[in-house]
């Protein structure tokens, strides 16, 4: 969005906080951001407001905006099929148009909650299909062209990176014939990565996730969009998740899903291995990587990816969604 407009009033990294305990620690910061957002909406007076994901923050703004006569479009539904299903009441009350990107969400809303939503396909498939990798990726990043890459995608939030990256790095010496490359994000200070990777034989490339995946043999990713991106690039992967102990215990009681990765959720099958909380350790990660590096297992996973891509594909989904918003 920043590339399309200079009118960026606050970066998402200032508002992005995950986990129950983490939210409690940052409650005053969150409340200040909510007040800031309301004032900025009143100043700007938009014809429509488009909310993207982040329901803990956005649904509060939705309620206020609806009460003040604004039209609310929500892009990327809150995952109420996983937890906090009671949010459906706020969604029905405050959101004028819900635009979902996962194929099972349309029937979920319609059949279970009698709420019409718009599904135009998942934009990632078209976006990645049009992507052309940089032929000079290895050269530009001082990588060994003769050594296959295992991509490490530890997430975009510092708190999750601190939890999972040390475990990712613990296996780098177990795969001597591979080079490990971290997909870094600019929103995280480079010094944070330097501190976490000190004395480790690993490279960090910033804002080059797609080039990294296009050139990778395998990937270790955190749960979220990265797992879907790796699947569309047809890269065998292991999906990992780790948070604070308190957050995990509360989440285990409240979250109602069989899988944590979007790949497994959409296909309703355990296609990619998931290492969650205590399962995420060096030994399990090493075994999982060894498994997906074997030819037969790779082919089986890629065949499942092809089914996933067919389920998600639609022509110009982003354009169709945009047309619905401006009509």
202-232 per-position pLDDT tens digit:
999 999 999 999 999 999 999 889 999 999 9
> CA-CA distance, 322 to 319, in Å (whole number)?
5
On the question of pLDDT at 247 being above 60, the answer is yes
Tokens of 123: 């934009």
What does pTM read for this prediction? 0.84
CB burial string 257-288: b at 16+ within 10 A, e below: eebbbbbbbbbeeebbbbbbbeebeeebbeeb
User: Per residue in 69-115, pLDDT tens?
Assistant: 999 999 999 999 998 999 999 999 999 999 999 999 999 999 999 99
- Domains of the chain (ranges; CATH) run 12-119 (3.40.50), 136-312 (3.40.50.2000)
pLDDT in tens, 165-203: 999 999 999 999 999 999 999 889 999 999 999 999 999
Check if the beta carbon of residue 161 is closer than 8 Å to that of residue 227: no
Can you give the pLDDT at residue 54?
87
């Amino acid at each position: 969005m920043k590339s399309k407009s200079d009118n960026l009033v606050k970066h998402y990294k200032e508002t992005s906080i995950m986990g129950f305990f983490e939210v409690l620690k940052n409650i005053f910061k969150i409340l200040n951001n909510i007040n800031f957002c309301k004032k900025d909406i009143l100043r700007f007076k938009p014809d429509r407001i488009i909310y993207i994901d982040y329901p803990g923050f956005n649904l509060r703004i939705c309620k206020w905006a609806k009460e003040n006569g604004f039209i609310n479009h929500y892009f990327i539904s809150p995952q109420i099929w996983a937890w906090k299903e009671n949010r459906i009441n706020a969604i029905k009350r405050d959101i004028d148009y819900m635009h979902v990107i996962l194929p099972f969400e349309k029937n979920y809303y319609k059949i279970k909650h009698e709420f019409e939503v718009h599904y135009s396909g998942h934009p990632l498939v078209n976006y990645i299909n049009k992507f052309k990798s940089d032929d000079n990726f290895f050269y530009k990043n001082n990588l060994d062209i003769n050594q296959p890459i295992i991509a490490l995608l530890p997430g975009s939030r510092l708190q999750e990176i601190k939890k999972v990256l040390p475990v990712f790095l613990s296996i780098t010496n177990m795969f001597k014939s591979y080079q490990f490359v971290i997909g870094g994000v600019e929103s995280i200070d480079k010094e944070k990565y330097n501190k976490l990777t000190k004395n480790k034989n690993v490279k960090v490339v910033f804002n080059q996730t797609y080039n990294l995946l296009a050139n990778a043999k395998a990937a270790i990713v955190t749960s979220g969009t990265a797992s879907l991106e790796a699947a569309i690039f047809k890269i065998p992967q292991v999906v990992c998740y780790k948070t604070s102990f308190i957050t995990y215990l509360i989440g285990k009681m409240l979250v109602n899903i069989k899988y944590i990765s979007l790949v497994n959720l959409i296909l309703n099958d355990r296609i990619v291995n998931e290492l969650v909380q205590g399962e995420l350790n060096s030994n399990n990660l090493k075994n999982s990587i060894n498994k997906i590096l074997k030819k037969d297992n790779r082919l089986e996973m890629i065949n499942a990816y092809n089914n996933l891509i067919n389920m998600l594909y639609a022509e110009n989904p982003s354009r169709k969604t945009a047309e619905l918003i401006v009509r």
